[in-house]
Structure 1
Amino acid sequence: MDKKYRHIRFVYLLSLFTFIVSCPGQNSKQGEFFKWDELATMPAAAGQDEPLGVAGPFAGISSDALIIAGGANFPKPYWGMDKVWHDDIWVLEKNDSDYRWYTGFKLDKPAAYGMSVTTEYGVICIGGADGQRCFSDVFLLKWDRSAKSVIKEYLPPLPLACAYGGAAVFNNIVYIGGGQSSSELDTAMNNFWALDLSQKDSGVDYSWQQLPAWPGPQRAFNMTVAQHNGKTDCIYVISGRKKKNGGIEFLRDIYEFSIVDNSWKQCASAPRALCAGTASAVGQSHIFVYGGDDGSLFFKADELGDSHPGFPKDIFAYHTITDTWVKAGEMPQTPVTSVALNWDDEYLVVSGEIRPRVRTPEILRGKLHETDNSFGAVNFITLCVYLLAMVAVGVYFSTRNKNTDDFFRGGQRVPAWAAGLSIFATMLSSITFVAIPAKVYSTDWTFFTINMMAIAVTPFVIFLILPFFRDIDATSAYEYLERRFNVFARLFASFSFVLFQIGRMAIVMFLPALALSTITSFSVEQCILIMGVLSVIYCTMGGLEAVIWTDSIQTFVLLGGACASILVILTNIDGGVGEFFAIANENAKFHTINWDFSSTSFMTTAIWVMVIGGIGQNLVPYVSDQAVVQRYMSVSDTKKARKSILTNALIIIPASLLFFGVGTALFVFYKMNPGKLDPGYQNDAIFPLFIARELPIGISGLVVAGIFAAAQSTVSTSMNSISTVVVTDFVKRFSLLKTEKGYLNLARFCTLFFGTLGTVLALLFASADIKSLWESFMSVLGLFGGSMCGLFLLGIFTKRVGGISAIAGALIGAIVLFTVKINTGVSVLLYAAIGILACVASGYVLSFVIPEKRKDIAGLTVFKSK
């Protein structure tokens, strides 16, 4: 009977959970992206009595001033006057919140409908026309704030005259796509040129370079924009028009140029033609197009005259990762042949033509709507209950810490399964919980191989590394280095470890804080303080046992939150699981192996890079990281220690499938619902965006608790392991205190001190702007960890290498890795492997050169065991 009711209860709970996750999200509606107002009104052009505005001006930002130059307009009465081409330069200087116009400056000649981009050198003005001919001139305009004057400098001319095209700049390289070489549309081109501005002051002769043309028709009145597509930086050529069979065809197509691969691909076409529109990159992966002519009234302009309704006011957003378009609101009025600029995180649309012959002198300013950070009482209660429970665990275990063995090793009474879960939670961190789904959402499953390498190194660790730590009954992993080499090797590794862990604490607190601040009412700094302070409290009180048991709880919270997210997505996809796999496969989101063995594959995510890099990155923590070694030293014997490592390896497979699956699910969800994407969120925060707006109330609070859990498990681990190393290797080693109680008090103080230090550094780190924090984290791991791992491998797998050779090898390894990092394009994924190999190779070679006194190393290498 009990078994029967147990099954009924299971079905009931499963049904209830399915119902909850299928409920609609708490804040999933997306309104207008921008709030628009008028920044300023342009002054009148020379020879005109009132401000009329201009179409096709050059415009950009220089020295915190808006420069507008040239352009064309029709005087009043609009339908009775000829077009006037201007040579005026207007400057709107910003001083705090005040703006002031400066006028009276001139171009060398009237010009309009050229291209312009803002660069660190000033405003680059390219080509243009005067109604009779097009120009190939390229020049730089700079604003001198002290002299209140415009400085002009000529740059290399275009290969051909060009107007009515588009320009973009990335990494000081200006790209030109589209345009026409005369006043006739039949001279429209599919030109794609680039000018490297970094060569401007180098003294070398430089010029525009011809790049491969896009695989589509020639065009003019198009837009050219630089933006990231989740994998690499790209240039986009959008819409335009061309001659066709004696008439005019308005284009909807869009093409993406990969700067890294030097290749093009066609993307999803726009919902309608956006000819002569204005576009800007917004956020990390959006392109917004403001207006643009759809051609529906193009041939009726003369007939409609003053009754023309004006050009469409629609704003369209193109998302480069999901390759989707969505209508994103409307503007007060939408000029064509204008210029879009980003000025201090505000988006400007400068003057332009609002209907045939009519310009506007207005400079429109758009600001992204601030994110709705309402988290809800239920979610906050869920989060608070979880956080208080973690503190309660620390209070409970505080009574069990009688000496440093209890505080640092849990008295070696921790169950093997709990130690294994703690290893998993420690290695997981907030970087995995937030950034892996974000990475997969932006790219594919290529990084999956790295996780699988953790399983590949498990037998190596269990049978060849673990026994040496167990044999010497180590509290600090670096005790082995003193026995094998000398005390300096121990102190060098310990000091390196402390530095790495302090930096790691800062990173793993900052990343979730960045995400959490966007979905709660807390600031980044407040989120960091919550995580840091609570981790310090329960870690200082409860020691390693508190850390391990909270890690075990947090593992279930992490995995449960990820499961809930996938279930919510699947229940909200029309077509269910089948449609999910269909969309993911169609977009190659399950692509796992990059079979690149070219001469430049060391810079990519090639399979061999993933395998070697993954082995290196997983060897570092399992071989030389006190935080991991401490876990498998917290159990009572070697057999249980092996079980703890094996438990971790077994969890990695389903957990990796789960977290990579979340990333793919996020892509599918937003591919089907592009209007729910928010350009105000960074790509690394895509999972928190989903949590905040799509998960049901309560479940959202639970998953946010999972983000806190991921960070706290790593941070608390770092605090305890740093304390262990400092007390064991730097104080107890030299018997600086007299009593065990003194060492225990010092352990608690070190936990408090270094926890506080890590929190302060996280607050400083909050100002960093990093495209993918996961890759940056792995870069740090390889840079600091390779030499330490190399030291252990030299000790365990060689007999002749002594302390001096080993330390020299470690230093050389660090120098080699630093040189590689600064001077080459080697993938950050290989840094750990490079550091290990450089340390081992140089240390072994030096052992033949540097004479050292032999010491007893019985039982300390694989060649001699007890």
Structure 2
Amino acid sequence: MQQLDWIVLSVTLLFIVFYGVWKTRGSKNVEEYILGNNQTPWYVVGLSVMATQASAITFLSTPGQAYHDGMGFVQFYFGLPIAMVVICVTFIPIYHRLKVFTAYEYLEQRFDLKTRSLAAILFLIQRGLGTGLTIYAPAIILSALLGWNLTWMNVIIGVLVIIYTFVGGTKAVNVTQKQQMFVIMSGMFITFFLILHLLPNDMTFSNALHIAGANHKMDIVDFSIEPELRYTFWSGITGGFFLALSYFGTDQSQVGRYLSGKSIRESQMGLIMNGFLKVPMQFFILLIGVMVFVFFQFNPVPLNFNPNNKAIIENSKYKDEYRELEQKLSKLSEEKKEINLIYIDHLNQNYDNPILRKELVAISSKENDLRDQAREVIAKADSKAETNDKDYVFIHFILNYLPKGLIGLLLAVILSAAMSSTASGLNALASTTAIDIYKRNVKSEKSEKHFVNASRFFTLLWGIVAILFACVGTLFENLIQLVNIVGSIFYGTVLGIFLVGFYLKYVKANAIFLGAIISQLTIFYIFYLDKVSFLWLNFIGAMLTVLLSLIFQFLSKSRKLKA
């Protein structure tokens, strides 16, 4: 990184923090601190909802996901627009009519305190883990690539977010996320067009798509009904729908965004905006990853993108074996580049050569074999090494091929995204702890100022917890998948509780409480068995909670009739 990159990065991040503090200082009551006095316009609601979901993990992991597996991940979001409509019709009017501070307040009014507390605790567990991951994801990758200390990276990101979230609450989260979304999308668009510019001169965007398609990176929709397949049309439209319905409808980090809307209509318009833009946005980010893949068809590519693994190999007895694999990859890369150039020449003559397409697939298969062998060598050198390098692909491209200044902007994009999702998480954790746990169980009368201070205290507390979790976290197969897996384990049960509350009025408190407990334990067991894609856990958890509550309510009614 050059001096210009440091200036761009520092100015961008410090502006966001100081802007958030300046615009939102001096909250006087709980309504202002948690709901922003219900003054948020619809477009800010929409941007805030998008920024909350678009964490740094999105911009680090999603391009890497596309680089390795293609565009199929977009199917994960197919159910989201439908979920937005359901939430706008059912959830938002009820929340606004009851004037709740958190989603879980509704559950006490509909059922009882123990059901409210159960849902709140399940939320706190999974969101606490998720918020730690939003800090840890960019920290571990940036620390590995830039040589920055991981612990200090976790602390710096966490402290920056705590400052303005502590001072301004929900309003601070909303106003800063406007700036963050601008930085994020500007950086991604600039990167996309720069990638196209860096491709060979006689290569068109259409040619790039053909190369990606020849390597099966443009296989967008899969109608397979195999349950173990992670991303298919059916898992996206069902499991993805239930995940989105639960995340946007019952997760306080999202509910808090639209509860601050000026009116029901403004909140609904904000969510509909998200429904319209989210799938195209994810498609675009995946397409950037595919274009990075095309770029590396003509440029040197590392055997493993994780620089930690290179260091491990250099200090092991397997370095000669690894270097031999690198030489094979280098030779294969030259062959790959030559065939791709010939393929482009044929495309420019309006001929999609099927023989060359087969050769490209064969070379891609050989390259994947070399990468698999490299992972085996890395594992022999250090059994604890993380051999999966999906999360390092995009940042490797940024640091090695982007011009001065733009590197700083892209790092600002990643850290801005981390800050936006972390701020929403902390704000939601603090709101839920203060309102659903602390305020609900305080016996004596307390002033508004007391609960504002309590909310600030819990913001600080959860911020410290998130930083500590980030400091002891470990990398998983792919960070964006890990976040969604953690959510899917808990979201189904919580959604089931809300669905029963909204639509099955004759089910009472004890029935839903027992149903939810058993459903959650069952989901833990199903996840342990690892027989179905994690997306189905959302559907199974929600439906199981609904079904069990109906059964327990029926049994309860039967016992009363016999008595």
**TM interval, short-chain normalised:** 0.7 to 0.9
Change (3 A) 1:852 1:648: farther
List per-residue Cα deviations over 1:96-126 (Å, max 9, x = no partner).
xxxxxxxxxxxxxxxxxxxxxxxxxxxxxxx
List per-residue Cα deviations over 1:627-684 (Å, max 9, x = no partner).
1111111012111111111122222133122111111111111122134665444221
Tell me the residue number matched to 2:248.
622
Alignment of 1:87-126 (within 5 A): none
Give the number of the structure whose residues are more often strand, by fraction.
1
The 3-state SS of whatever aligns with 2:103 is: coil
Question: Is 1:583 matched up with 2:290?
Answer: no
Change (3 A) 1:677 1:541: farther
Tell me the residue number matched to 1:799.
505
Tell me the residue number matched to 1:789.
495
1:776 corresponds to which of 458, 469, 482 = 482
8 Å contact from structure 2 (residues 230, 535) kept in 1: no
> What root-mean-square deviation, in Å, do the aligned CA atoms of Structure 1 and Structure 2 show?
1.8
TM-score by length of 2: 0.82
Structure 1 Cα separation of the partners of residues 232 and 508 of structure 2 = 37
Tell me the residue number matched to 2:139.
513
Question: Is 1:715 matched up with 2:422?
Answer: yes
Deviation at 1:697, TM superposition (A): 1.0
Give the number of the structure whose residues are more often helix, by fraction.
2
Structure 2 Cα separation of the partners of residues 645 and 439 of structure 1 = 26
1:633 corresponds to which of 259, 267, 270 = 259
Tell me the residue number matched to 2:56.
430
Question: Is 1:393 matched up with 2:99?
Answer: no
Q: Greater RCO between the two (CA within 8 Å, min separation 6)?
A: 2
Alignment of 1:188-267 (within 5 A): none
Structure 1 Cα separation of the partners of residues 430 and 500 of structure 2 = 26
Structure 2 Cα separation of the partners of residues 654 and 708 of structure 1 = 22
Tell me the residue number matched to 2:544.
838
The 3-state SS of whatever aligns with 2:102 is: coil
Tell me the residue number matched to 1:78.
none
Question: Is 1:730 matched up with 2:437?
Answer: yes
Structure 1 Cα separation of the partners of residues 240 and 129 of structure 2 = 21
Structure 2 Cα separation of the partners of residues 813 and 794 of structure 1 = 14
Change (3 A) 1:853 1:801: farther
List per-residue Cα deviations over 1:146-170 (Å, max 9, x = no partner).
xxxxxxxxxxxxxxxxxxxxxxxxx
Structure 2 Cα separation of the partners of residues 693 and 502 of structure 1 = 34
Tell me the residue number matched to 1:690.
397
The 3-state SS of whatever aligns with 2:531 is: coil
Deviation at 1:398, TM superposition (A): 4.0
Structure 2 Cα separation of the partners of residues 672 and 699 of structure 1 = 22
Deviation at 1:485, TM superposition (A): 0.4
Structure 1 Cα separation of the partners of residues 506 and 304 of structure 2 = 60
Identify unmatched segments of 5+ residues in structure 2.
308-388
Structure 2 Cα separation of the partners of residues 697 and 769 of structure 1 = 29
Residue identity matched to 1:430: A
Q: Which has the larger radius of gyration?
A: 1
Structure 1 Cα separation of the partners of residues 523 and 107 of structure 2 = 22
Residue identity matched to 1:754: W
Question: Is 1:741 matched up with 2:369?
Answer: no
Change (3 A) 1:725 1:669: same
The 3-state SS of whatever aligns with 1:692 is: helix
Question: Is 1:822 matched up with 2:450?
Answer: no
The 3-state SS of whatever aligns with 2:260 is: coil
Structure 1 Cα separation of the partners of residues 559 and 525 of structure 2 = 32
8 Å contact from structure 1 (residues 414, 635) kept in 2: yes
Structure 2 Cα separation of the partners of residues 697 and 847 of structure 1 = 65
Structure 1 Cα separation of the partners of residues 256 and 500 of structure 2 = 21
8 Å contact from structure 1 (residues 403, 744) kept in 2: yes
Deviation at 1:514, TM superposition (A): 1.8
Deviation at 1:586, TM superposition (A): 1.2
Change (3 A) 1:409 1:679: closer
Change (3 A) 1:474 1:579: same
2:279 corresponds to which of 635, 653, 656 = 653
Deviation at 1:848, TM superposition (A): 0.5
Structure 1 Cα separation of the partners of residues 230 and 470 of structure 2 = 30
List per-residue Cα deviations over 1:147-200 (Å, max 9, x = no partner).
xxxxxxxxxxxxxxxxxxxxxxxxxxxxxxxxxxxxxxxxxxxxxxxxxxxxxx
Change (3 A) 1:795 1:680: closer
Question: Is 1:760 matched up with 2:386?
Answer: no
Identify unmatched segments of 5+ residues in structure 1.
1-374, 855-866
Residue identity matched to 1:750: F
8 Å contact from structure 2 (residues 77, 236) kept in 1: no
1:552 corresponds to which of 175, 178, 195 = 178
Structure 2 Cα separation of the partners of residues 815 and 495 of structure 1 = 15
8 Å contact from structure 2 (residues 26, 167) kept in 1: no
8 Å contact from structure 2 (residues 35, 101) kept in 1: yes
Tell me the residue number matched to 1:243.
none
Structure 2 Cα separation of the partners of residues 809 and 656 of structure 1 = 35
Deviation at 1:471, TM superposition (A): 0.9
TM-score by length of 1: 0.54
Residue identity matched to 1:725: T
Structure 2 Cα separation of the partners of residues 516 and 653 of structure 1 = 27
Residue identity matched to 2:422: V
Structure 1 Cα separation of the partners of residues 305 and 50 of structure 2 = 33
Residue identity matched to 1:583: I
Structure 2 Cα separation of the partners of residues 690 and 455 of structure 1 = 32
Structure 1 Cα separation of the partners of residues 301 and 525 of structure 2 = 45
Question: Is 1:666 matched up with 2:292?
Answer: yes
Alignment of 1:595-606 (within 5 A): 595-597=223-225, 600-606=226-232
Structure 1 Cα separation of the partners of residues 299 and 275 of structure 2 = 36
Question: Is 1:613 matched up with 2:239?
Answer: yes
Percent identity over the alignment? 27
